[in-house]
């Protein structure tokens, strides 16, 4: 691979944003402040633009295999590339579910053929697959559905949860909604066709009970645990007073939508956990700013519009988001609600550290050249018809944002830009994980190389 020089960029580093020229070679960053006389085979003039570390989305559902009429690893990874997402971690609830190491390897093989960006796949927990979980090594972690699942992926019996936390070593993440609470609420509201009842069935109490239960398990067993898609401000006290074992994330739909949006958007914002209140929006944003929440993810989980248009409760939960997540946050930075350093921390550095992704998450010498060039002055309007996801819709349809990716680089290779579109020849790589480094709280200076 040739040498590439990103000249005159505003480089978003771990602790600052400063003018600089970033030199890369063989897919690695050589220098973040290359001198004016440095030789390169390709020089990219970045004047007026910002260079950020590529986004790492640690919670996606790309539907491959088994549900590929909704999405597949090719269409989803194209959406990632167009949105500045250079790496993703995908959940195990495909068909068949990835509950064995062989199942994970099958998904890796599909990604090696299809994915434009880097990839990793969680192994799913069941009530009786602890032996399989103990054999898994080079995967990001274990996913538990403590609620909101069916079949053998639902793990809500205490004995099974105790075994998983006690006998495995990989970091664990979980969907935290108390199944008993959800079922009781559903029974109370049986027969409803009101989409707003989704947030009454999957209420604040269901989230708090399950998050409290899971974080207590993590602390008691001293096992690294990541709380997925925190949806209520009431969960934040359970995550305060940073533990060396616990991290958490929010998804953008829980920050930007609330129950007042159901009349306008209907099932487009039907999610598990459910959308909550405006007060929860504000509380979760404050949780990001004060460090109680470390990561932003999307929970990208597309369905066709035909499926979503079914009357509630036949309408499925889930929405697409990977190609708009960075732009949504750049727009917030432009509005002064956060800084570019915070965006890079929440969307790149923090997920790399949580999951031990070697060489990812920062613009720093020795790190992989996974980069996204953005124009903070560019405005675009999100349109359903222009989405790259196979589902071809967005809950943010019609919203105009300021600040957009203009080019995405994976291992120094331009996989997408606004002029040429996609490079159809390139494929991403399987991510490398080093869990021995101890996760987020033990890698303050980055995950390294």
pLDDT attached to residue 36: 87
| Residue 182 confidence class, pLDDT cut points 50, 70, 90 | very high
Pairing mode, strands 4-12 and 17-25: antiparallel
pLDDT attached to residue 148: 65
| Residue 241 confidence class, pLDDT cut points 50, 70, 90 | confident
pLDDT attached to residue 80: 98
**What is the share, in percent, of the chain residues with pLDDT greater than 70?**
99
Q: What pTM value is reported for the model?
A: 0.98
Of 51, 315, 23, nearest in space to 198 by CA? 315
**CATH 3.20.20.140 in the chain, residue ranges:** 54-360
Domain at 54-360, CATH from 3.90.1150.200, 3.30.70.260, 3.10.270.10, 3.20.20.140: 3.20.20.140
pLDDT attached to residue 156: 84
pLDDT attached to residue 325: 98
- pLDDT of 185 over the 70 cut: yes
Render pLDDT for 37-89 as a digit per residue (tens, 0 to 9). 899 999 999 999 999 999 999 999 999 999 999 999 999 999 999 999 999 99
Residue range 3-51+365-422, CATH number:
2.30.40.10
SS3 114: helix
Q: How far apart are CA 197 and CA 193, in angstroms?
A: 8
pLDDT attached to residue 243: 85
Per DSSP, helices labelled H in 151-297 are 158-167, 179-188, 198-201, 204-221, 236-239, 252-256, 262-265, 278-289
CA distances to 368, 379, 396 from 319, in Å: 30, 23, 10
Q: How far apart are CA 384 and CA 391, in angstroms?
A: 9
Render pLDDT for 310-339 as a digit per residue (tens, 0 to 9). 999 999 999 999 999 999 999 999 999 999
- pLDDT of 242 over the 80 cut: no
Q: Which whole number is the average pLDDT over 337-365?
A: 98
> What is the spatial order of strands in the sheet that 55-60 belongs to?
55-60, 85-90, 118-121
Of 133, 128, 52, nearest in space to 92 by CA? 133
**What is the share, in percent, of the chain residues with pLDDT greater than 90?**
95
Render pLDDT for 126-167 as a digit per residue (tens, 0 to 9). 999 999 999 998 999 999 998 766 567 888 899 999 999 999
pLDDT attached to residue 147: 73
Nearby residues of 382 by Cβ (< 8 Å), 6 or more positions away: 324, 327, 394, 396, 397, 398, 399, 400, 401
**CATH 2.30.40.10 in the chain, residue ranges:** 3-51+365-422
- pLDDT of 275 over the 80 cut: yes
Q: Which whole number is the average pLDDT over 363-371?
A: 98
Mean of per-residue pLDDT scores for the chain: 96
With the C-alpha atoms ordered 249, 364, 13, 327, is the resulting torsion angle positive or negative?
negative
Q: Which whole number is the average pLDDT over 113-129?
A: 97
- pLDDT of 1 over the 60 cut: no
Query: Which two tokens mark 210?
Result: 């399950």
- pLDDT of 417 over the 70 cut: yes
pLDDT attached to residue 149: 64
């Amino acid at each position: 691979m040739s040498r590439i020089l990103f000249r005159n960029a505003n480089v978003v580093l771990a602790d600052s944003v400063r003018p600089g020229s970033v030199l890369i070679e063989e897919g690695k960053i050589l220098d973040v402040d290359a001198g004016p006389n440095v030789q390169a085979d390709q020089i990219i003039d970045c004047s007026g633009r910002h260079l950020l570390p590529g986004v790492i989305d640690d919670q996606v559902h790309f539907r491959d295999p088994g549900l590929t009429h909704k999405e597949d690893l090719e269409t989803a990874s194209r959406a990632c590339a167009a949105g500045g997402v250079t790496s993703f971690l995908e959940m195990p609830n495909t068909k068949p579910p990835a509950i064995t190491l062989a199942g994970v390897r099958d998904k890796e093989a599909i990604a090696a053929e299809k994915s434009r960006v880097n990839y990793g796949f969680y192994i799913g927990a069941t009530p009786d697959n602890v032996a399989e979980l103990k054999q898994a090594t080079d995967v990001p972690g274990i996913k538990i559905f403590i609620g909101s699942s069916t079949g053998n992926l639902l793990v809500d019996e205490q004995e099974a949860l105790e075994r998983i936390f006690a006998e495995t070593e990989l970091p664990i993440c979980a969907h935290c909604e108390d199944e008993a609470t959800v079922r009781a609420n559903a029974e109370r509201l049986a027969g409803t066709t009101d989409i707003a009842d989704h947030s009454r069935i999957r209420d604040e109490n269901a989230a708090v009970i399950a998050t409290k239960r899971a974080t207590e398990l993590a602390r008691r067993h001293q096992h690294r645990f990541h709380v997925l898609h925190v949806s209520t401000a009431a969960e934040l006290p359970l995550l305060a007073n940073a533990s060396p074992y616990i991290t958490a994330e929010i998804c953008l739909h829980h920050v930007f939508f609330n129950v007042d949006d159901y009349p306008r958007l209907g099932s487009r914002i039907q999610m598990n956990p459910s959308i909550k209140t405006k007060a929860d929006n504000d509380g979760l944003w404050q949780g990001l700013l004060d460090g109680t929440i470390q990561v932003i993810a999307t929970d990208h989980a597309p369905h066709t519009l035909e499926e979503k248009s079914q009357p509630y409760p036949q309408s499925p939960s889930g929405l697409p988001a990977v190609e708009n997540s960075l732009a949504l946050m750049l727009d917030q930075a432009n509005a002064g609600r956060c800084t570019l350093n915070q965006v890079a921390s929440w969307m790149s550095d923090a997920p790399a550290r949580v999951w031990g992704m070697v060489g990812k998450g920062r613009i720093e010498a020795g790190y992989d050249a996974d980069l996204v060039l953005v124009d903070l002055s560019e405005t675009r309007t999100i349109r359903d018809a222009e989405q790259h996801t196979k589902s071809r819709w967005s809950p943010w349809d019609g919203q105009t944002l300021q600040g957009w990716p203009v080019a995405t680089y994976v291992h120094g290779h331009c996989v997408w830009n606004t002029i040429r579109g996609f490079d159809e020849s390139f494929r991403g790589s399987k991510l490398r994980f080093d869990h021995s480094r101890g996760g987020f709280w033990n890698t303050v200076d980055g995950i390294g190389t």
